[in-house]
Structure 1
Amino acid sequence: MNLIIKEAFGKEMKIAKELYLSKKWDEAFTHLEKAHILGQRNAIPHTINHWWMLKVGIRKKDGKEILGQIIRLLVAGIGSLLGRAPIGNTGGSNVGIMTPLPISSDIAKLFIKTNLPLR
């Protein structure tokens, strides 16, 4: 993982974990979605991210999110290893597993800076 992307991913995960510990589930999930976009090209960060999304789903007692994250945990690392992660996908169960999404300008700038494709 590129150092710039790794640092951005780590920052978003740190914020998400702090919010999780404060029981601010929705705010934590928003940062997990951003971290997902940053980390989905790398199997280990991608899988860790989905684990935390599952934890939020459990805390919220959201059956759809729990099931969606269990499925994603089974395929996330494989998708990353095969280069099949859909760029921009936020990783929640409200989005199809293979659905690419537009990238926010702040993340797009990081991808451009590190020569990562935006599609």
Structure 2
Amino acid sequence: MKEILRTAINEAFLEASAARKNNDVQAAYLWLERAHIIAQRMPLAHARSHWLMLKLGLQTRDWREVVGQVPRIFAALLFSRIWVPVGNTGRARVSAFSVMPLSADLQELLRDD
């Protein structure tokens, strides 16, 4: 994994954790979505983003998010190297197959991935 991607993923996970501890659920999900997009082609980091979304869903009693993350964790481990819907945020309220637009900074970050 490129060092710049590793740094970006770690930053997103750290920021999500800080937001979660501060009960800023919206910010936590935004950071986890960013981590998810960056990590989509890396099975363990990809699965970790879904695991943390599941934990946040448990914290907020968002059962739709919890139930939706379970199959995504397994899919991330099994299919990340085969195919991923680029830009997909990974949330349970979004189809797991939807390709979504990337922000300019994520386009640049993932350009050579």
> TM-score band, normalised by the shorter chain?
over 0.9
Instruction: Identify which range, 72-81 or 35-44, moves more after superposition.
Output: 72-81
Partner of 2:101: 102
After TM superposition, the score normalised by the length of structure 2 is 0.94
Runs of 4+ aligned residues of structure 1 deviating over 4 Å after TM superposition are: none
Post-superposition offset of 1:93: 0.8
Q: CA–CA distance in 1 between the matches of 2:98 and 2:35?
A: 17
> Where do 5+ consecutive residues of structure 2 fail to align?
none
* Contact 1:50/1:72 (<8 A) preserved: yes
Q: So what's the TM-score if we normalise by structure 1?
A: 0.90
Distance 1:20 1:39 in 2: 20
- Identity value in percent: 32
- Deviation, 1:3, is 1.2
Partner amino acid for 1:3? Answer: E
Count of residues in correspondence between the two structures: 113
Gaps of 5+ in 1: none
Q: How do 1:10-29 and structure 2 match up within 5 A? A: 10-29=10-29
Q: What letter matches 2:42 in structure 1? A: N
- C-alpha distance in 2, partners of 1:110/1:30? 17
Task: Letter of the 1:97 partner, please give it.
Answer: A
Q: Following superposition of structure 1 onto structure 2, how do residues 58-77 of structure 1 map, counting pairs within 5 Å?
A: 58-77=58-77
2-structure distance, mates of 1:30, 1:110: 17
Deviations 1:33-85 (A, max 9, x none): 01100001100100111110001111111111011111111211112132x11
